[in-house]
Structure 1
Amino acid sequence: MSTRTDTGTTPARRRTAAGPLDRFFGITAAGSTVPRELRAGFTTFLTMSYILFVNPQVLATAIDIPNAFVQLLMTTAIAACFGSLAMGLIARYPFAQAPGMGLNAFFSYTVVAGMGVPWQTALGAVFISGLLFVVLSVIGARRAIVMAIPMSLKLAITAGIGAFLAFLGLRNAGLVVTNEATLVGLGSLTEPTGWLAVVGLLLSAVLLQLRVKGAILWGILATSLIAILTRVPVYPGGADGALQAFPGFTNGVVAAPIWPADLVGQMDVGGALGLGLLSVVFTFFFVDFFDATGTLTGLAQRAGYLDERGDMPRAKTTFSMDGLAAMFGAFMGTSTTTAYVESAAGIEDGGRTGLTSTTTGVLFAASMFLWPVAGAVPGAATAPALILVGAMMMEGIRHIAWDEISEGVPAFLTILSMPLTFSIANGVSFGVITYCAIKLFTGRGRQVHPILYVVAALLVARYVFLAE
């Protein structure tokens, strides 16, 4: 059973009359404070602000329009702003949203470049998949699936997301690199990105151990300051794609936003409904369904919002906001917008309510004017935050019955496959399939919710028929 931890708010204080902001978000009831929520939102923004630069780079390979990078940056910021505000103001949870990594690569390299589908039609497929999310959320299907997942897998999903986050952090820091002989290997600790990340990791860990408020945020800012002052080449934008020292704010701190006129409303829903593209629509749907469902469930468990039955309050609304964000993002001209696992950084920094994700959404809106400031935070500064958050998300696995094979093996596969396949969706899928199979073939099939058997069958069909 996961319970929300009290962060220092006394019962007497909870009974104190709260202001409208506190009452709307339930801040005091969640054991938090307004400053803590704002700080957590800022932390979440810093850890996921890389998407402002990475998403345009990926999508620009598929979307050929004038001034593509800037227009895609703007539509990325708008989609992230809308998704985070919807989750914060309507669902009132600290889960930020933005165009998802992995799905943007599938959009660009597989669907558009590989299959020759026009990017407008691919956006239509994203819109339809988002609509399916909303429908399934409203009728309660997504909540029913989450409720059917056993607690051991819920704990494993949280831990798997933590392992995935840590792997992302190690990769962003250059500490884990591609190795032709062993698939992955240790990067160079003498490279600026590597040693700066190690310094940031130690600094942030010390601050956390000393229970300094906002330790993760202070670690990010301090590491960024070290990078700027030492002039180490850890920032993108150098010649031939090489890293460079902080170039300064060459275009000023404030830059006028550009409306992405060549992207907004360009989706072709009719074309995406063609029989030849149904597999694309359902691939978008399946991958994001289990990616987002796993992410939201893991984040909710970590934030203490799952009850003893594994249920999450306002689940229908929360899942609906995920689908709505995907639909809006497609209309604006970007690939699937979804819940971000980096929200865990804000949660670990104390964020417990929708004010955290609302803050993140406002900062994404501001980034359209102040995006050069976000460029002052290198990936080596946010990498330690992802590693530390990943470590802390492993805490729940001690409650898994590891001596029970039918519980331990699916949980282990869930945790391990997320970083190794670079997919939260794969981790959830492997866990669900093996859990159902082992229970069924050992005469314990009645311990599995019938809905989970249906889900497992659909997942098997997805890997068999939609693998490409």
Structure 2
Amino acid sequence: MTQTKATEPVATSKPISGFDRYFGITALGSNIPRELRAGFTTWLTMSYILFVNPQVLSGAITVPNGFNQLLTTTCLAAAFGSLAMGIVARYPFAQAPGMGLNAFFAYSVVGAMGYPWQTALGAVFVSGVLFVVLSVAGARQAIVKAIPLSLKFAITAGIGAFLAFLGFKSAGIVVVNEATLVGLGSFTHPTAWLAIIGLVGTAVLMHKKIKGAILYGIIGTSLIAIITRIPVYSGPDGTLVPFAGFANGIIGLPVWPTDLIGQLDIGAALGLGLFSVVFTFFFVDFFDATGTLTGLAQRAGYLDAKGDMPRARLTFSMDGLAAMFGAFVGTSTTTAYVESASGIEEGGKTGVTASTVGILFIVSTFLWPIAGAVPGAATAPALILVGALMMQAAKDIEWVDLSEGVPAFLTVILMPLTFSIANGVSFGVIAYCAIKLLSGEGRKVSPILYVVALLLIARYVFLAEG
């Protein structure tokens, strides 16, 4: 499949300003209102992190008024990461503290292993330094180049399946089942029906090619929940309740994270006992972020015919820098967010989209009550529909050639089944190398990919706790 290079202009109108030229807005066939709308859509879709990340980390990071300090820290990390990706790398990929890695931080490193949270933050910082070093040295982009096109298409499709799974889970349509692992949720609860109404309504708007369809779908579904006062919002005790309104107004003064900023212990993190922890953070986020950025770039049309992404070194460096900053202000690994796909589907093509997300996270330190008016059932339809669109990449995989098709299938299926983009990418790479080598086609595989496969096998054998 031949793709248009991102650096090739698709519009002929003259850039209107230095701002336009820097971000390539007109050159990529976009405009400022579209980019702003895409950024707002991405922020709405990932705004749940404002409350979920503090909830996960507050059990491990024990400081006075911890939840509110962590909420501010989450905003700062997301704002810095998104602005760095938008202004420096000029891509529409938002960043924030990553789900999964925050749970590993809180429940495994601090909880089960017993390390102080300051030391765990130091481990996150060291892993971020490794990201930046490897990115500047060109290692990360070399690995991306070594990944065959079939796996790149599979990564995009797998992220689509993962997004859809997140959406179904958030809507309560897919739930935990002790007998079958997962099962169909109850349709006696309004959460599922609200999500279905939002799904159908948003799909109709998208089919009619209404600009801003996903954003309108999120806002419209949220308004239905607010007006009808159905219990779809998380209450203080974890139960679902109707929208409680803005008892203290839409402005909430931030609590500055005095007890978190600069508290990381890098020295302790460099001890031999933290070796496995540092490299677990490193490996998981390396392949999670690499897979996410590759999949988003493919969907946004930034990959060229060889599957290469322009400004890859800069882009990956910003990912590592965001992890370092996040650790400094007191949160677990900050990384590229797969929910950025919602903004891309809204037409976001440039760094203005990610920069908008960053600015909105800064504003969120004061206006975070507004994010609480958007229930998970309202963002679930966006995730499901974007997932469906990203699955289109599967059509370009050479399914007939099993040495290409089987690794691609493992990549796609294991992302939602293991709830990890990193696992999907890892098993796809390992399977691709093994099948090609044992089939007598080993020379078709880049030597770099063999090294990566061996490192991944070692990671699963020796760092199994990750």
TM over 0.5: yes
Equivalence for 2:363: 366
* Secondary structure in 2 matching 1:241: coil
- How much does 1:5 deviate? 9.9
- Show the 5 A alignment for 1:409-420: 409-420=406-417
How high is the sequence identity, in percent, across the aligned residues? 73
Matching residue's letter, 1:449: S
Q: Separation in 1 of the partners of 2:258 and 2:247?
A: 26
Query: Residue 2 of structure 1 contacts residue 304 of structure 1 at CA under 8 Å; is this kept in 2?
Result: no
- Cα pair 2:86 2:354 within 8 Å, conserved: yes
Matched residue type, 2:345: E
In structure 2, what is the equivalent of residue 378 of structure 1?
A: 375
Give, as a single letter, the amino acid of the residue that structure 2 aligns with 1:143: Q
307, 325, 333: which is aligned to 2:304?
307
What SS does structure 2 have at the residue aligned with 1:185? Answer: strand
Note if 1:80 corresponds to 2:78. yes
Within 1, Cα distance between the matches of 2:144 and 2:165?
25
Contact 1:43 1:349 in 2 (8 A): yes
CA–CA distance in structure 2, aligned partners of residues 237 and 444 of structure 1 = 56
Report the Cα offset of residue 436 of structure 1.
Answer: 0.2
- Residues 10 and 466 (structure 1 numbering): CA distance in 2 closer, same or farther, change over 3 Å? closer
Aligned to 2:346: 349
Q: Is the 8 A contact 1:197 1:384 kept in 2?
A: yes
For 1:458, the aligned partner's letter is L
- Tell me, yes or no, if the aligned pair for 2:122 and 2:264 is still in contact at 8 Å: yes
Matched, 1:393 2:390: yes
Q: Are the counterparts in 2 of residues 2 and 301 from structure 1 also a CA contact under 8 Å?
A: no
Tell whether 2:93 aligns with 1:110: no
- After superposition, the C-alpha distances for 1:77-122 in whole angstroms (9 at most, x for unaligned) are 0000000000000000000000000000000000000000000000
Contact 2:5 2:303 in 1 (8 A): no
Q: Partners of 1:294 and 1:3 in 2: how far apart? A: 19
Counterpart residue identity of residue 105, structure 1: A
Matches within 5 A, 1:120-199: 120-199=118-197
Q: Is the 8 A contact 1:2 1:305 kept in 2?
A: no
Q: Secondary structure at the match of 1:338?
A: strand
Counterpart-to-counterpart distance in 2, 1:426 and 1:16: 44
Q: Secondary structure at the match of 2:96?
A: strand
TM-score between the two structures when normalised by the length of structure 2 = 0.98
Deviation (angstroms), 1:236: 1.2
Q: Which residue identity is paired with 1:375? A: G
Aligned residue identity for 1:184: V
The offset of 1:20, in angstroms, is 2.4
Mapped partners of 1:395, 1:2: distance in 2: 15
State the shift of 1:2 in Å: 5.3
Deviation at 1:167, TM superposition (A): 0.2
How far is the alpha carbon of 1:17 from its aligned partner?
4.0
> Contact between 2:292 and 2:338, CA under 8 Å: does it hold in 1?
yes
Match of 1:30 among 28, 31, 47: 28
Shift in Å, 1:4: 4.8
Q: 1:252 to 1:418 in 2, by over 3 A?
A: same
1:250 maps to which of 240, 247, 251: 247
**One-letter code of the match for 1:280?**
V
Aligned to 2:289: 292
Structure 2: unaligned runs, 5 residues or longer: none
1:21 Cα deviation from its structure 2 partner: 2.2
Aligned counterparts of 1:303 and 1:130: Cα–Cα separation in 2: 26
Q: How far apart, in 2, do the equivalents of 1:92 and 1:244 lie?
A: 40
Cα distance, 1:5–1:147 mapped onto 2, change above 3 Å: closer
Q: Match for 1:96 among 73, 94, 97?
A: 94
Q: Which runs of 5+ in 1 are unaligned?
A: none
| Structure-2 residue corresponding to 1:283 | 280
Equivalent residue, structure 2, for 1:444? 441
* 1:174 alignment partner AA: G
Q: How many residues align?
A: 463
C-alpha distance in structure 2 between counterparts of 1:2 and 1:241, whole Å: 49
Give, in whole Å, the separation in 2 of the partners of 1:399 and 1:414.
Answer: 14
d(CA) in 1 for partners of 2:17, 2:73: 34
Partner residue, 1:42: 40
TM-score computed with the length of structure 1 as normaliser: 0.98
Show the counterpart of 2:400: 403
- Structure 1's 250 and 5: CA in aligned 2 closer, same or farther, altered over 3 A? farther
1:459, 1:17 → 2: CA distance?
45
Aligned mates of 2:390, 2:88 — CA distance in 1? 26
Cα RMSD, aligned residues only? 1.2
SS at match of 2:240: coil
Counterpart CA distance in 1 for 2:457 and 2:340 is: 30
Residue 394 of structure 1 aligns to a residue in which SS? helix
| Bigger Cα displacement from structure 2, 391-400 vs 84-93 | 391-400
CA distance in 2, matches of 1:362, 1:45: 10
| Distance in 1 between residues matched to 2:226 and 2:13, nearest whole Å | 46
- Whole-Å separation in 2 of the counterparts to 1:54 and 1:241: 12
* Alpha-carbon contact 2:5-2:305 (below 8 Å) kept: no
**What residue number does 1:466 align with?**
463
Question: CA shift at 1:47, angstroms?
Answer: 0.4
- Structure 2 residue aligned with 1:3: 3
* 1:188 Cα deviation after fit: 1.1
